[in-house]
Amino acid sequence: MSRPNPVKALNGVRSGHICDRCNKCVRTGDLVRAYTTHYEQEGWMLRQVRCVECGESTLEKETDGADEAIVEALFWRHQLISVKVRDWSPP
């Protein structure tokens, strides 16, 4: 089975603007890091959005069999753009 790429799925996705760890407001033009998981039924879903100071650049631990990734993106008017994969779980 092919693994859908998180970049395609998350480019332009709507995002919250509060860092999940420090509660700082993220503004348009800021870089953010997001933790995202993929399940077959729902596709790639944002789980946590953090400012770039708090965001991890690598995956910490495995979840329950889900495909997961850390992405970095530009926050732009409540959307994520210029999404790049920082870390992606092995198949």
Residue 69 CB, nearest approach to Zn ion (Å)? 19
Sign, CA dihedral 8-3-31-78, equals positive
Question: What's the closest the beta carbon of residue 56 comes to Zn ion, in angstroms?
Answer: 11
Given a contact cutoff of 8 angstroms between Cβ atoms, the answer to whether 89 and 67 are in contact is yes
Residues at the interface with Zn ion (CB under 5 A): 19, 21-22, 24, 51, 54
Q: Kindly give the residue spans of alpha helices, DSSP state H, lying in 1-91.
A: 6-10
**For Zn ion, which is the closer residue by CB, 17 or 24?**
24
CB of 88 to Zn ion, least distance (A): 22
